[in-house]
A and B are shown apart, each in its own frame.
Chain A
Amino acid sequence: MESRRRSFLKIAGVSALGLGLRPVLDVFASSGAQGDAPQVLENEKALSAKQWAMVIDTRHIRSIGDIEVMMAACHRIHNVPLLANKNHEVKWIWAERFKHAFPAKAHEYVNEKLSDLSLPVLCNHCENPPCVRVCPTQATFKRPDGIVSMDYHRCIGCRFCMAACPYGSRSFNFRDPRPFIPKIDSHFPTRMMGVVEKCNFCAERLAVGKMPACVAVSGGILTFGDLEDPESGVRKLLKSHYTIRRRQSLGTGPRVYYII
C-alpha cells in the first residue's frame, strides 16, 4: 500500500482515539466489579495509636512475685514454652536485676533499694529497631502503630535479629516447643523449631479492644498507651516523672520507659 500523508493521519487519529478510550473503559469496569468484591476491615473495637509505648513504675513493685504474675499471664496466652535448660529458654517478658537491666547506671555502691530491685523487661518496640534492619527476609517488621512484630511464616531462623537486639528480647526455638507448653491455648498459634520469637505488645489483644495481658494483670505497675497522644496515660506519667530507658545511648529509641 502506498503510504500517503492522508491515510497516515487517519490511522494516527483512530489510534489516538483508541488510547483515550482505555482509561474510560477501566473506570466503568472497576465500578461494576466493586459491588460484590470482598472487603478487609479493621475490627470496630480495635485499639489504635500512632505509637504504642509502655511506662513501668518500678516504685510499685513489692516483690518478684509481681513480675511473675505478668510473665505467667503473657506466656500462657502466647503458648510460650517452659524450658528448664537456660540455653534453650524462650521468654517474652521476664524479670531482670537492676544492675543487669541498666548496667551503665548501676555501680557497686548503688542504694539498697536499687541493688535489690528486680524489674520487668521485654521488647522495647524501638523507634529505630536494629532487628528489623538486619532481618534478611523481612520477617521482622515495624507496624504503623510502632509495634515491632514478626511474621513467623517468613522467619528462616538465621538469628541475625538476636545478634542485633541489644536487649536480648528475642528467643530462638532450639527445640520443638510444643511438648514444653504447659497448657496450649488454641486461640494463639505456637511456634516451631528453628524460628525466633518475641513480645508482640499483644497485637492480637489490641485488635479486639483489650489491653496487653501483662498490663491487665500488673495492678498499675505497667501503663500502656499512645505516645503521640498528649492526653494518654503514658504521656501524663512521662510528663510528671523522671524516666529512664534501657541503653538509650545506642540510639534505638526504646519505647518502654522506667520510673525508678
Chain B
Amino acid sequence: MNDKYKIYTGLFIFIAMVTFPFWYNLGKAAPVPEIKLSEKAKAAGACVRPVAYMKTQHMTLLDAWRDSVVRDGKRAYVNGSGKEFRMSLTDTCLGCHSERAAFCDRCHNYVSVKLDCWNCHIDPKENA
C-alpha cells in the first residue's frame, strides 16, 4: 500500500466535490414564499373551490377547464355552493388574482416549476 496517501487524497477530493452543493448551501435555505392576495381576491373571500383544494389541485382544475372549454365547448363552471364562473384563465383566474408575480410566480419559482401558460395566454398587466 504505497499509494495510501494518493488514494485518500483522491477520495477526499471526490467526496468534497460530490457533497459540495450540500455544505455550500448549508443554512441558506430560501424562506417559504408568502403568497400575496390581491385586493380583489381578498374582497371576493372565496375561490372557485375551497382554498385547501385550490392549493393542492389548482393544476388539475386548470387542466379540466382547458379540456372542457377546448374539447367540449362547455365554458360555465358551477361550484359546490352553486356559484357560476366563466372558465377563462385570463378573465376569471387572472381577473381576481391580478398580481401574477406575487401570486403565481413566487411559489412556482420556489419549487422550480416552469410555467408555460404565458407563452400564449395573456397577462393583462403585461400588455396594459
Contact = CB atoms under 8 A, between A and B. Distances in A.
Contacts of B33: none
Interface stretch (A14-22, A80-88, A147-155): A147-155
A152 B80 contact: no
A197 to B, nearest CB: 10
Interface stretch (B8-16, B18-26, B38-46, B69-77): B69-77
Contacts of B81: 36
Contact of A153 (B66, B79, B90): B66
B59 interface: no
A42 B76 contact: yes
Chain A's interface size range is 20 to 34
Nearest to A203: B73
Nearest to A177: B120
B77 A184 contact: no
Contacts of A36: 80-81
Interface in A187-225: 187, 189-192, 203, 207
A191 B116 CA distance: 12
Interface string B63-94: 01010101111111111110010010011000
Contact of B68 (A40, A43, A186, A187): A40
Interface in A133-167: 141, 143, 145, 149, 151-153
Contacts of A151: 70-71
A42 B71 contact: no
A42 B120 contact: no
A189 B71 contact: no
Contact of B120 (A37, A46, A149, A189): A189
A190 B120 contact: yes
Interface string A211-245: 00000000000000000000000000000000000
B101 interface: no
Given A145-B73, A151-B70, A186 B80 contact: no
B45 to A, nearest CB: 18
Given A43-B76, A46-B75, 6 more contacts: A40-B64, A40-B72, A41-B78, A143-B71, A189-B120, A191-B120
Interface of B: 49, 64, 66, 68, 70-81, 84, 87, 90-91, 119-122, 124, 127
Interface of A: 36-43, 46, 141, 143, 145, 149, 151-153, 184, 186-187, 189-192, 203, 207
